[in-house]
Amino acid sequence: MSTGTETVLAAPDAEVPPTVAGRVRKKLTSRTASAVSLVIALLWTVPTIGVLVSSIRPEDEIKSNGWWNFFANPQFTLENYEQVLFGSRSASGGLAGYFINSLVITIPSVLFPLAFCALAAYALAWTRFRGRDWIYIAIFALQIVPLQMALIPLLSFFNYGVSLGGVQLLPAWDLDGPAKFITVWFAHTCFALPLGIFLLHNFMAQLPGDLVEAARVDGASHAKIFRSVVLPLIVPALASFAIFQFLWVWNDLLVALIFAGGPKNAPLTVRLAELAGNRGNEWQRLTAAAFVSIIVPLAVFLSLQRYFVRGLLAGSVKG
């Protein structure tokens, strides 16, 4: 299947409509088509442009007139960014710290599921054992179970450990300071597994069976086949899942709110939601802050869009 955005078919419509009426009609429809798509395209981009433009306008300009006046009367400043990134926390600054938190949360939360999912997907696709299909179906079904179902018990698992009938089976995790990030990594890793295994399994199952069989006949172990035959072939799939997971973790609010704890470990999204609530009128800071949080996923997304689309199609159309 073509991957959507990368396909630009060259010949628009080779045949010429036979009648004049047909030609007029065709022209009309293509004109409405252009108009409709232009309106949609504007609706989908203008709000973001508004925030970007506002973030580089001086405070009293933002607060006194609309951002569209920028084009008639351009006044440019980077002060908003300096304030939100490096200003004191009480003045809704300090975003640089939250930015680092976002990075520290996101990177391991992408790496761990990537490895575990690849291994599990390989087992489900290329080893033979009884009950394999049932395990696969169960993991597939877990994809749809709402995250909300796991939150309360998982938090108490971290905070109080596991006790059964008064006997403490597992201790509380008792983490504080930077070590608290571990619980966030753990939660994100668990929640990523069903979709990840499903996606990677789809790719792996499509690899030609002869390839794996031949390696088996040659006496290669599964570990070796995984490393030197399968892994190099599924790099695009790994990339698309990694992008998914990256966007998901970086943009997540719920998991971070519950597991990251106080401001020392919270990511950008948590801070941003807080600012939107407390300082909803300080648009000079809100717009700059919003853009700081958007810029990284946007860059990742735009540069790796091809892989993202491929993953999207594999995950949805075939599912």
Partner 1 sequence: MNFDFTAEAPKLMMLLYGVIAFAAVVGLLLLVLDVLPARKDRWIALGLLAPAGLLLLVGLIVPAIRTMVLAFMNADSSEFVGLENFRWMFTDKNSGMLPDFSTDPVQYGVLLSTLLWVLLVPTVSTAVGLVYAVMVDRARFESFAKSLIFMPMAISFVGAGIIWKFVYEYRQEGSEQIGLLNQFVVALGGTPQQWLLDGPWNTLFLIVVLVWIQAGFSMVVLSAAIKAIPADIVEAAHIDGVTPWQMFWRVTIPSIRPALVVVLVTISIGTLKVFDIVRTMTGGQFGTSVVANEMYTYSFRADEKGKGAALAVLLFLFVIPIVIYQVRLMRRRRLEGAR
The reply to whether 167 sits near partner 1 by the rule CB under 8 A is no
Helices 181-205, 148-160: inter-axial angle, 10-degree rounding: 140
Of positions 179, 211, 214, 235, contacts partner 1 by CB under 8 A = 179
Helix (H, G, I), strand (E, B) or coil at 164: strand
Residue from 24, 78, 115, 235 touching partner 1 (CB under 8 A): that is: 115
Provide the terminal-to-terminal Cα distance of the chain, rounded to the nearest Å.
14
In residues, how long is the chain?
Answer: 319
| In the complex, minimum distance from the CB of residue 258 to partner 1, in angstroms, rounded to a whole number | 6
Interface pick for partner 1 out of 24, 78, 223, 235 (rule CB under 8 A):
223
Nearer to partner 1, 29 or 211 (CB): 29
Instruction: Answer yes or no whether residue 27 interacts with partner 1 by CB under 8 A.
Output: no
- Which tokens hold the place of 72? 């008639």
CB nearer to partner 1: pick between 70 and 76: 70
Q: Which residues pair with 168 in a beta bridge?
A: 163
Query: 40: Cβ–Cβ under 8 A, 6 or more apart, which residues?
Result: none
Contact with partner 1 (CB under 8 A): which of 159, 163, 168, 221?
Answer: 221
Amino acid symbol at 66 = G
207 binds partner 1 per the rule CB under 8 A? no
Which listed residue (24, 152, 211, 235) binds partner 1 by CB under 8 A? 152
What's the min distance (Å) between Cβ of 281 and partner 1? 9
Q: How far is the CB of 155 from partner 1 (least distance, A)?
A: 8
Residues 6+ apart with CB under 8 A from 312: 240
Is 171 near partner 1 (CB under 8 A)? Answer: no
Is 214 a residue that touches partner 1 (CB under 8 A)?
no
Distance in angstroms (rounded) separating the CA atoms of residues 147 and 155? 13
In whole angstroms, the minimum distance from the beta carbon of 179 to partner 1 comes to: 7
Q: How far is the CB of 160 from partner 1 (least distance, A)?
A: 11
Helix %, strand %, coil % of the chain (to 5): 70, 0, 25
Q: Which of 145, 211, 214, 235 binds partner 1 (CB under 8 A)?
A: 145
* Pair of tokens at residue 311: 């993953």
Angle 57-58-59 from CA coordinates, rounded to 5°: 115
Q: Could you tell me the CA-to-CA distances from 108 to 40, 79, 102, 242 in Å, in that order?
A: 37, 33, 11, 11
Binding to partner 1 (CB under 8 A) within 255-274 occurs at: 257-258, 265, 269, 272-273
Q: Which of residues 30-59 bind partner 1 (CB under 8 A)?
A: 33-34, 36-37, 40-41, 43-48, 50-51, 54
Q: Which of 56, 195, 197, 234 binds partner 1 (CB under 8 A)?
A: 197
Binding partner 1 by CB under 8 A: which of 103, 211, 214, 235?
103
Distance CA 252, CA 110 (A): 13
119 forms part of the interface with partner 1 (CB under 8 A): yes
